């Protein structure tokens, strides 16, 4: 039936019928808050390219965790911003049981046991060169030596009590290696969230400032391991391998530039599928909002809803806490 029998505006005319036909409803339970932890007590350091985001000392991080629980957010994704003095060529601080990250995990699981904790696995906060892995003489990130390091890092975080191991490094075969090591160490309940389709994106710039890897990285890129933004068939191959290797959930990253990838991944595999609204996406929205060019609440909820509509079961976002509060009020 076509116009005038079919008038799509009829259902849009009033709030009640718009509500009844709404297909995607964003809730706090869809959101994962992202936070950076730094040394010290009662301390926070602003991240200049991400206004409103701060690196937090562990005690302040615990306060943020409490806010997340109160707002109905199920989980927190944590990244460390360790001081430069712990950086090394092989990033060995990553598996030090007393490293900042491991201490933060223990503290959070003690103070807020119900809040899921997602720990990043990659060496970039800890390496002098800012790469996610261990490099050879030419600066190429070596796959197998890096996997060995990542396995150590994963075991250290699992021992500290993290709920989700989230490898963001894009080495081949690391999910299987980590899964095997977790099983052998008796960490049979530790979940793996694989950053399966992670693209070499310019939108990670503010994050690198936040964890302090941008200076180390210099002009070095990550194109020899992160995916070419031009590809999406390749993303399906990445996801398929990670599922076979034992991933419990998979992720697409960044978010808005990859809606089509997210859609394909969810449709094809039906896996718990996460998406990461990354630092540059946050910075972009925040900057426009600060200029008064965009209405922040409207566009943030719009982008998060779009990510869910495209297939995301969960969305990592620096806006998670603000969004959860907007949804409640």
Q: Minimal distance in Å, beta carbon 36 to ligand PBG?
A: 10
Q: Minimal distance in Å, beta carbon 121 to ligand PBG?
A: 8
Q: How far is CA 243 from CA 150, 173, 186, 197, in A?
A: 18, 11, 21, 12
Buried b / exposed e along 254-272 (16+ C-beta atoms within 10 A): bbbbbbebbbbbbeebebb
Catalytic amino acids?
A: 198, 253
The residue (of 168 and 232) whose beta carbon lies closer to ligand PBG is: 168
Backbone φ, ψ for residue 295 (5° rounding):
-85, 115
User: Is residue 132 within 8 Å of 222, Cβ to Cβ?
Assistant: yes
User: Is residue 327 within 8 Å of 28, Cβ to Cβ?
Assistant: yes
The residue (of 111 and 306) whose beta carbon lies closer to ligand PBG is: 306
- The Cα 213–Cα 298 span in angstroms is 32
Q: Minimal distance in Å, beta carbon 273 to ligand PBG?
A: 17
**Region for 218 from its dihedrals, namely left if φ exceeds 0, alpha if ψ lies in -120 to 50, beta otherwise:** left
The residue (of 111 and 214) whose beta carbon lies closer to ligand PBG is: 214
The residue (of 111 and 234) whose beta carbon lies closer to ligand PBG is: 234
Strands 54-56 and 31-37: parallel
Which residues in this chain contact ligand PBG in the complex, by CB under 6 A?
120, 122, 124, 132, 168-169, 204, 207-208, 222, 278-279
**Region for 72 from its dihedrals, namely left if φ exceeds 0, alpha if ψ lies in -120 to 50, beta otherwise:** left
The residue (of 21 and 249) whose beta carbon lies closer to ligand PBG is: 249
Structure tokens at 317: 């976002």
- The Cα 154–Cα 170 span in angstroms is 15
The residue (of 26 and 77) whose beta carbon lies closer to ligand PBG is: 77
Q: How far is CA 293 from CA 38, 256, 322, 328, in A?
A: 33, 19, 19, 25
The residue (of 14 and 162) whose beta carbon lies closer to ligand PBG is: 162
């Amino acid at each position: 039936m076509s116009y005038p029998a079919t008038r799509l505006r009829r259902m849009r005319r009033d709030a009640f019928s718009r509500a009844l036909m709404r297909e995607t409803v964003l809730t706090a339970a869809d959101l994962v808050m992202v936070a950076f932890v730094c040394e010290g007590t009662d301390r926070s350091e602003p991240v200049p390219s991400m206004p409103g985001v701060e690196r937090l000392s562990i005690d302040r991080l615990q306060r943020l965790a409490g806010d997340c629980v109160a707002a109905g957010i199920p989980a927190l994704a944590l990244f460390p911003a360790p001081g430069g003095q712990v950086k090394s060529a092989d990033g060995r601080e990553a598996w030090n049981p007393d490293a900042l990250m491991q201490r933060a995990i223990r503290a959070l699981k003690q103070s807020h046991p119900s809040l899921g904790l997602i720990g990043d696995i990659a060496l970039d906060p800890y390496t002098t060169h800012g790469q996610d892995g261990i490099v050879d003489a030419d600066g190429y990130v070596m796959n197998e030596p890096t996997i060995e390091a990542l396995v150590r890092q994963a075991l250290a975080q699992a021992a500290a009590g993290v709920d989700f191991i989230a490898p963001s490094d894009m080495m081949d075969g690391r999910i299987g290696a980590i899964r095997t090591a977790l099983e052998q160490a008796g960490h049979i309940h530790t979940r793996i969230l694989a950053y399966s389709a992670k693209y070499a994106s310019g939108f990670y710039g503010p994050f690198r400032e936040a964890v302090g890897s941008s200076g180390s990285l210099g002009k070095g890129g990550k194109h020899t391991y992160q995916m070419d933004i031009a590809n999406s068939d390749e993303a399906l191959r990445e996801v398929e391998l990670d599922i076979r290797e034992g991933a419990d959930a998979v992720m697409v990253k960044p978010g808005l530039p990859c809606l089509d990838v997210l859609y394909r991944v969810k449709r094809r595999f039906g896996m718990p599928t996460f998406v990461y609204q990354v630092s540059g996406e946050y910075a972009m929205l925040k900057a426009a909002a600060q200029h008064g060019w965009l209405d922040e609440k409207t566009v943030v909820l719009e982008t998060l809803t779009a990510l869910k509509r495209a297939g995301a079961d969960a969305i990592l976002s620096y806006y998670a806490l603000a969004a959860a509060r907007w949804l409640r009020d």
